Structure 1
């Protein structure tokens, strides 16, 4: 998603309490989709990193594979 919202923007939208119920539901759904898409992309990228790149971010190969194997909806 090239037009994904930044975390700060998502938090602002999510914090809106004076929204009609349907709008609130739509925002909640949109936030979930953005989070899922971010996880999917991050986990796909983890599969392609070289050992030195994994060390740079503080992960070993087994930790990266464990994270990459999770489905996008799982935290």
Structure 2
């Protein structure tokens, strides 16, 4: 099972943060983007039977695959 990072790593107010946490937030964002790219590649490879098993329609798949990796 895939472990996800807390969204607070991406959206906290940075005015009170120290400079040492900046590299961690950058790394966390890079890891999130890589997971999105990977999962979208896997989604693109699913056939219609597997999509139906997962409860995903073709239009939902197209919508997800058309997103840029940062969204």
TM-score (norm 2): 0.72
Deviation track 1:2-41 (CA, whole Å, cap 9, x = no partner) reads: xxx932xx44xx4xxxxx7232101111111111011111
The partner residue of 1:34 within 13, 31, 54 is 31
Match of 1:58 in 2: 55
Offset at residue 55 of structure 1 (A): 1.3
Structure 2 Cα separation of the partners of residues 56 and 25 of structure 1: 41
Deviation track 1:28-74 (CA, whole Å, cap 9, x = no partner) reads: 11111111011111112111101111112110111111101111001
Structure 1 Cα separation of the partners of residues 58 and 25 of structure 2: 34
What secondary structure, in the 3-state scheme, does the structure 1 residue paired with 2:69 have?
coil
Q: Mark the runs of 5 or more structure 1 residues left unpaired by the alignment.
A: 15-19
Task: Kindly tell me the number of residue pairs found equivalent between the two proteins.
Answer: 61
Match of 2:45 in 1: 48
Cα pair 1:40 1:72 within 8 Å, conserved: yes
What secondary structure, in the 3-state scheme, does the structure 1 residue paired with 2:52 have?
helix
